[in-house]
A and B are shown apart, each in its own frame.
Chain A
Amino acid sequence: MRQLLNGNEAAALAAKLARVQVISAYPITPQTVVVETLAKYVADGELEAEFVKVESEHSALSVCLGASATGARAFTATSSQGLMLMSEILYVVSGMRLPVVMANANRSLSAPLSIWNDQQDSLSVRDSGWIQLYGENNQEILDLLLLAFRLAESLSLPTMVCYDGYILSHTSESVEVPSQEEVDAFLPPYSPSLRLDPDRPLTMGPVGVPEIYLEARYMQHRALRGAKEGFVRVAEEFGRRFGRRYGILEEYRTEGAEVLLLAMGSLAGTAKEAVDRCRERGERVGLVRLLLYRPFPGEELVRALSGAKVVAVLEKDISTGWMGALYTDTVAAFANEARRPLFLNFILGLGSRDVRVEDLEEVIRTVRREGEEGRVGENPRWVGVKKEVLE
């Protein structure tokens, strides 16, 4: 059934369809509507869940930790500062292998204070051991969240689905909403074998003595690596049931492309426009969009990108003082490859600085030129910086 939903509503609806049992979230722009919508579902009796109105995001994720450990399906949503505040517990949850699912409305990080969009927040916690998925539109928000529950619970790994604040969260789109029965068929109830239960007293979260810490971390890492295949399998089943196919990445008009753009999230939408315009002009340009960011699908990206002469990595984040996160991860994947395109990093859209198709066309032009010259200019390049105001 089609509904007109903004990104937040889609996220809340996904949680409802997934029959989450414990919700704990603290409101923060631009995620607030998720919390409000879920609260309304619970109040109206549409969703049978415990809604724990916590006093901070740190406690929100802690509540989810406790609930998940007790055997309940737990969900939270946040953004930016909230994600930072709960960042300590992100690592604890993943270290304890609890399948908490989070919706993160990407928002810039303070300081300076910004309620607007970029992907700095979720990319700052890419090391936390969580599976990270990035959606391009509201349909994907809904679908990827449903996938996330299934994926998290089958692998015992927490998962966050990221979507651009305001751009997606507050924009309404037509979304195909599956029925509750369809979702129930896809997503069975959560029943972990390891949970807090007086009938089987377990100790969770002990001291990781030096003799064992390395192995524990390795096991977790290995499990997260395995999430790549896990995602493919689950997405495949999702595709069969719901008709919408998702993969680790999407290749848009990449056949024979000399120039490839690499992007995540709604930025890809704009990039697709630019690609279309270039293709109309006969330029061989394509786009690779990454859905699964962690675990990082190095092999898949190598396969998708090696054919090009030059790759422009477009991202809405910066590892301040160096390059963008997506760029450094991608380049690392190519470190030992014989065939390697030229890589250029473009930092754009921070704090919702508008990214127009024209800007991307300019990027493509630059990239092609430098690709032909075989020489990389400034790297990374910040798009749209108003040089006249710089001191």
Chain B
Amino acid sequence: MRLPEEELLAPGHRACPGCGEVMALRLILKALGRRVIVVQATGCMEVVTTPYPQTAWRVPWIHGAFENAAAIASGVEAALRRLGREGIKVVAMGGDGGTADIGLQALSGMMERGHNVLYVCTDNEAYMNCLDPSTLVLTEGGLKRVSEVRVGELLYSFDTQKQTLVARRCSGVFFNGVHDIHEVVTPHHLIRATPNHPFLILERGGRGGRNRLVWKTLSQLRVGDEVVVLKKIPYGHSYRFNFRPARIGDPKVAHLNPVRIPERSSPELMKLLGIWLGDGWVRPERAEVGFALPEGKRGRRELVGLSQKVLGTTPTGNESHLYLYSSSLARFIDSLGFGRGAKNKTIPAWVFTLPVEERKALVEGMMLADGYSLGGSHRYVSASRELLRRLRLLLQTLDYRVGKIHWQERRKGERCVERELLRDTGFGYLCFSRKRAPNLEEYPSQCRYGDHLAGNEFFEMERIIELRYAGRNQTVDLRVERDHNFIAEGMVVHNTGIQRSGTTPFGAWTTTTPAGRIGRGEDRSKKDMPSIALAHRIPYVATASVGYPWDLVWKVRKAAAVEGPSYLHVHCPCPTGWRHDSSLSIRVARLAVETGCWVLYEAERGEIRITFRPERRRPVGEYLRLQGRFSHLTEEEVERIQREVDERCRELGLGWYG
């Protein structure tokens, strides 16, 4: 069976990335072809596909109201019959509510009257404080973009009781769509978040009153408010590299010229890498690791020494450059994540997990290459903005005082450091210095007045110096256990996903019937729509899932071929409502079926036949765990769900194997 190439649903519609419903729509249209008239109930699909004056539909389409798609479709079908226009299939489409709740009456009437209409319910169970996805979050595995954080990871968090740094489990990652984003700027930090995102702020009690830390949303912040930021991370452990040196037989190998590739990080290695980060490059295909270190530069001497000590080899070179030839070494350095090319250098996440000495060693190495010091103040120059940004954060974890990044653009032909530039370029520098510790013993109150967290090992307060609008962007949020906060861009922020769960989120689970539908938390549909359709004794009823496109297409075609009413109930994940990554829509849909939470069957003339049996039914936890909307469930609740799914599958004749 081949699907026609023609797209009857045009791109450019406004559906969320990864929307399961629109995937189903597209497949249904491909299965049906051009000779259709689509009648759509009010809902997500109607809104995203027909923003006037644009429409994504390339077939005739009509929308009336929320609850009457089946009735309008009845009218269309009656008219076609009366007008003698044959060969056109009428398809009515509605979501969960438009079908089972408010739309039930019209659907029932349509089925009872026996109209030749295919009714499709695209069930996305959707109902419907967020950060910019590039926001860097401190996890135990190092610094990561918030969009890369995985459920189960340990994040650093501010223990609100003890005011210390703790590691907490991330229990959810949510992609919340495009929103307005604002920037909160302090002397050493900048973070982008939505107006409803809470920050930990000092509320001054005034004369005689107590100062305390409270949560305030970004929209409530004022310039001058003091926010809790991360000062230092004193922990760390040596990083164990999982680099696999090449084997014999590997066409790329240099089996001679052995270089000792370190298995763990060490201060010396980090220093060497720091020098490399500033002045080095790597070309694995040439087995070359190079450094631009001219004679007389201090870094050069250091590098030679470090190379001998750490790698067991001496670099070769000339008066301006040093080289290490080893394809293993080249590939090793390339694999560490420091990036390639002056503009693309960065500091990978694992560096942030290192012990203090190793982190410092990296900074020292970098300073030997591209930095210089003036008195007590240090300055590092780089052409990579990302590198400066991460260095800034790294220095903050080492309790340095860091300035902002000064960035400059230079045009081709301008003179720069005794040379003319060959092209337009940009570079920047970062200033930092050791902090002067407050004299807490002599002047405790004064110190605490200035900094509420003075003396705290990990955190301190900083004043907000600017708040500004930063445009619209995709947003991400995390849910963290216990204290419900995490450290993003050095600032302590709260998670905003407020779970709309009752005390018994699956209280009505027990009343759902054999079709294996899962409701939506509190506003659950308790009805088994396919069974209701069956009770109308219509010729064809089926369930389908967008995760099994061929099964869906097959069923659509079968239903369309019926002369009379047919009902198709399609399970469609909704990343926005179900709180999972947009890329996981199909995974989630398939897991629903693989766990038995959604059973694929069809009923011709009332006789039910399962159309897909998973080879081995998986535990329901695998399905539930992927979705943020279920992240509040306890072990017991999950077990109860498992029992109920088991019961339902037994009723339907779906075993554990095949």
Question: Which residues in A have some Cβ–Cβ distance to B below 8 Å?
Answer: 21-22, 24, 48-50, 52-56, 58-60, 62-72, 74, 88-89, 92, 96, 196-198, 200-209, 211-212
Contact = CB atoms under 8 A, between A and B. Distances in A.
B59 interface: yes
29 contacts: A21-B82, A21-B83, A48-B82, A50-B79, A50-B82, A53-B113, A55-B108, A55-B112, A56-B105, A58-B71, A59-B109, A63-B75, A65-B75, A66-B62, A67-B75, A67-B79, A69-B62, A69-B75, A69-B76, A72-B79, A89-B65, A92-B65, A198-B34, A198-B59, A198-B60, A205-B62, A205-B64, A206-B50, A207-B51
B35 A198 contact: yes
Contacts of B36: 198
A257 B106 CA distance: 54
Contacts of B37: 70, 196, 198
Given A54-B109, A198-B37, A207-B52, A59 B63 contact: no
Ranked nearest first, the 5 interchain pairs of A and B with the lowest CB-CB distance are A66-B75, A206-B50, A72-B79, A62-B71, A63-B75
B561 interface: no
Contacts of B63: 204-206
B535 interface: no
A66 B112 contact: no
A183 to B, nearest CB: 19
A74 B79 contact: yes
B65 A66 contact: no
Contacts of B46: 207
A71 B109 contact: no
Contact of B83 (A53, A58, A59, A71): A71
A196 B62 contact: yes
B78 A50 contact: yes
B39 interface: yes
A66 B79 contact: yes
B67 interface: yes
B167 interface: no
Contacts of B170: none
A56 B106 CA distance: 8
B75 A70 contact: yes
A196 B60 contact: yes
A212 B51 CA distance: 10
B51 A58 contact: no
Contacts of B78: 22, 24, 50, 52, 63, 66-67, 72
Contacts of A64: 75
B32 to A, nearest CB: 11
A203 B65 contact: no
Contacts of B71: 54, 58-60, 62-63, 66
A58 B62 contact: no
A211 B50 CA distance: 14
B67 A58 contact: yes
Contacts of B109: 54-56, 59
Contacts of A67: 75-76, 78-79, 82
Contact of B51 (A59, A200, A201, A209): A209
Contacts of A49: 82
A190 to B, nearest CB: 10
B74 interface: yes
Nearest to B35: A198
B547 to A, nearest CB: 29
Interface string B48-61: 00111101011111
A72 B64 CA distance: 17
Given A59-B71, A65-B72, A22 B62 contact: no
Nearest to B66: A88
B81 interface: yes
Contacts of B35: 198
Contacts of B88: 198
Most buried by A among B52, B60, B65, B77: B60
B75 A201 contact: no
B80 interface: yes
B73 interface: yes
Contact of B50 (A89, A201, A203): A203
B74 A66 contact: yes
Interface residues of B, number: 44
A208 B46 CA distance: 11
A166 B52 CA distance: 46
Contacts of A59: 68, 70-71, 74, 105-106, 109
A21 B85 CA distance: 13
Given A22-B82, A58-B68, A62-B65, A206 B75 contact: no
Given A66-B39, A203-B57, 7 more contacts: A24-B74, A56-B109, A69-B75, A70-B79, A198-B36, A201-B60, A206-B51
Contacts of A70: 37, 75-76, 79-80, 83
Contacts of A204: 60-63
Contacts of B65: 62, 88-89, 92
A39 B39 CA distance: 27
A48 B52 CA distance: 38
Given A52-B75, A56-B105, A208 B52 contact: yes
Contacts of A53: 113
B47 interface: yes
Interface string B16-52: 0000000000000000001111010000001100111
B624 to A, nearest CB: 34
A2 to B, nearest CB: 31
Nearest to A202: B60
With a 10 A CB-CB cut-off, give which of B34, B57, B76, B108 has the most chain A CB atoms. Answer: B76
Nearest to B68: A62
A200 B70 CA distance: 23
A63 B76 CA distance: 7
Contacts of B80: 70
A24 B35 CA distance: 25
Contacts of A88: 65
A312 to B, nearest CB: 41
A56 B113 CA distance: 13
Contacts of A198: 34-37, 59-60, 88
Contacts of A62: 64-65, 68, 71-72, 74-75, 106
Contacts of A201: 34, 57-61
A42 to B, nearest CB: 11
Interface in B109-133: 109, 112-113
B52 A52 contact: no
B440 to A, nearest CB: 58
A56 to B, nearest CB: 6
Contacts of A58: 67-68, 71, 105-106
A236 B60 CA distance: 38
Contacts of B73: 66
Contacts of B55: 203, 206
A157 B79 CA distance: 19
B348 to A, nearest CB: 45
A211 B54 CA distance: 13
Interface string B80-106: 111100001000000000000000011
A52 B74 contact: yes
B546 to A, nearest CB: 23
A177 B216 CA distance: 77
B76 A196 contact: yes
B81 A50 contact: yes
Nearest to A96: B64
Contacts of B82: 21-22, 48-50, 67, 72
Nearest to B80: A70
B346 to A, nearest CB: 42
Contacts of B62: 66, 69, 196, 203-205
Contacts of A68: 75, 79
Nearest to A93: B64
A203 B55 CA distance: 7
B386 to A, nearest CB: 39
A287 to B, nearest CB: 41
Contacts of A71: 79, 83
A54 B112 CA distance: 10
